[in-house]
Amino acid sequence: MSTDIQFAIIGSAGDGTIAAGDILRRAMAEIGYRVISFDLYPAEIRGFGKCIARLRVTSEQAYSLKPKSDVLVSLDDSHAIPHAGEAREWGAVVYESGSVSALAEGSHMSAHIDPGQIPYPLRIRELSEKSTGSARSRNIVVLGYLAGLFDLPLEPFLKALNSKFKGKADIAAKNEAGLRAGHGEGRAAFRLDDIRFAPPPAQGNGAKVEMISGNAAVVRGALDAGIANFFGYPITPATSIMERLAAEMPKHGTRLLQTEDEIAAISATVGAGFAGARSATATSGPGLALMAEMLGMAVIAEVPSVVFVSQRGGPSTGMPTKTEQSDLNMAVYGGHGDAPRIVLAPTNVEGCYRVAGKAFEIAEAYQTPVIVLLDLYLSNRYETVPFPAKPPFDPDKSRYADTRGGPAGFQRFALTADHISPRSVPGQFGGMHVATGLEHNELGRPNDQPEMHTAMSRKRHEKLKAALNHPDFTVTKRFGDEGKVDVGIISWGSTFGECLEAMIAARSEGIRCAAMKVCMIWPFPVEAVSAFMEDCGQVLVPELNYQGQFAGILQSHIPRPVARLAQVPGAPMEVEDILCEIRRLAAPSGAGADKQAV
């Protein structure tokens, strides 16, 4: 018997919905289960809008949330009623059984529970008021009820609760009383659902498993890679990267500066990179647009620098609290002139850690800006991640020149066989050179002759190709059936988890199916992707943008029709939508395959 149970807690801003989800996932991780979770919240201020905390608890690795939850909890019926159908058949629905005022017909959750769902009415407000003297602990009462109802140990919930309210003893004590009150009710409830928790899986090979978000994993990766400076300006959903680094970097003797805007942030990042320090900034699409000119400066001056970009719905201010993958074209092509840069995209929270750390290596090794593309879904998603005992990152990949002899005319931009020149840092004896935004010769001095501009343009582009073979970096990876398949899925970023779940479901239906994730978007891994496509009868490319931007990049390198599944719901893609496309493409006649092929 294995565990695969999904919770959905729905309430209004101010109900503690997201806090309840946080405590629940911490408790589940403490027990030893694998957890993947993602919260939805409004852009409005406190007191308005719907909040949903969803988390999937499993004994085996999961890659995305399920379309239907096993347990649905309503903290606010007005928001939960539209989602009543999202509880699966024989799933549990927990809701407030009482009311402090008369209710209009149809406004109570009990009127919307399907015959196949199992209702669990609970006196949530009454239990909270009796145990804590306030209705503000309703969310904690519900957590205790779930623990009691499903025979979960209470200790991990108490530990998570005390951690959440550390330093607030009075609040923690009141909430503990609410937790225990709910737990007693849950233990006494008569169970009718079919939800069962199997024992948690045995712990792994000594790696430390932690519950962590994508942005927190980026911070961990940057620290483990030896980041020396961070310059940033707040912007949703990248702000927590700066907030976490602000708390951690002083402990490491390193520096963080909140700048006046994104232009200053990228300028300082490039300046610190020129000085030889590992430096980074973090932003979202609107901020990346402002950084385009200085990214061009970093390209032509060949300065290592790292930019973490957490995408959100656009354009312009767009949808700051909704996810999207629509900044890809800007990350790859956004710049004046031929301004190549390396673009990386992790596909899960563990990948955020590894890609963040490797980004500093890659920036140094190829003397170029590196953009790491996240999105709101990946930044805010929580997963249980096994961290290695020792950071797997090289602390220095710079190619510094030996200038001790003080040679006249140090060729900072020397044309070499591998197109990578020796570096020097300010103050290094014999390493003086000119760094400018103008086109230049090997000494760095301005030179706009056709032959020199052609040679330097070739150098800046060709050196990046070596990154496709960078040590210990997963550029692409194939999953599923080997050899020839009916349908191959090619995906990038956070959407790959849903693609992997869809592939697994398709294989269980007898469809020969495989999936490839692409973690290095630029330079594009033509050989690996082309070889995969050769094995595929049909190719499907799902992504969260309207144009199918990744599909466009793919087809600019490999001129073959693909089926695009491009959506902009502001939320993660549904596994069922991908699975339906796989079924359509795998049909014997290939019905409709050419209809969407472009």
Q: Note the pLDDT of residue 45.
A: 55
Q: Note the pLDDT of residue 40.
A: 87
187, 148 contact by CB (below 8 A) = yes
Q: Note the pLDDT of residue 595.
A: 43
Q: What's the rounded mean pLDDT across residues 81-93?
A: 96
Assign 120 to helix, strand or coil: strand
Q: How many CB atoms lie within 10 A of CB 223?
A: 19
Which tens digit of pLDDT belongs to each residue from 22-33? 999 999 999 999
What's the mean per-residue pLDDT of the chain?
Answer: 93
Q: Note the pLDDT of residue 436.
A: 92
Q: Note the pLDDT of residue 105.
A: 81
Q: What's the rounded mean pLDDT across residues 14-43?
A: 92
| All domains of the chain in start order, with CATH | 4-188 (3.40.920.10), 210-387 (3.40.50.970), 399-473 (no CATH), 476-586 (3.40.50.920)
Q: Note the pLDDT of residue 208.
A: 76
Ramachandran class of 351: left when φ > 0, alpha when ψ lies in -120 to 50, beta otherwise: alpha
Residue 450 burial (10 A CB sphere; 0-12, 13-18, 19+): exposed
Which tens digit of pLDDT belongs to each residue from 477-486? 999 999 999 9
265, 259 contact by CB (below 8 A) = yes
Which tens digit of pLDDT belongs to each residue from 322-339? 999 999 999 999 999 999
319: β partners? 313
* Side chain identity, residue 121: P
Largest CA distance in the chain: 88
Segment among 130-144, 190-204, 286-300, 314-328 with least mean pLDDT: 190-204
- At 596, the pLDDT band (50, 70, 90 cuts) reads very low
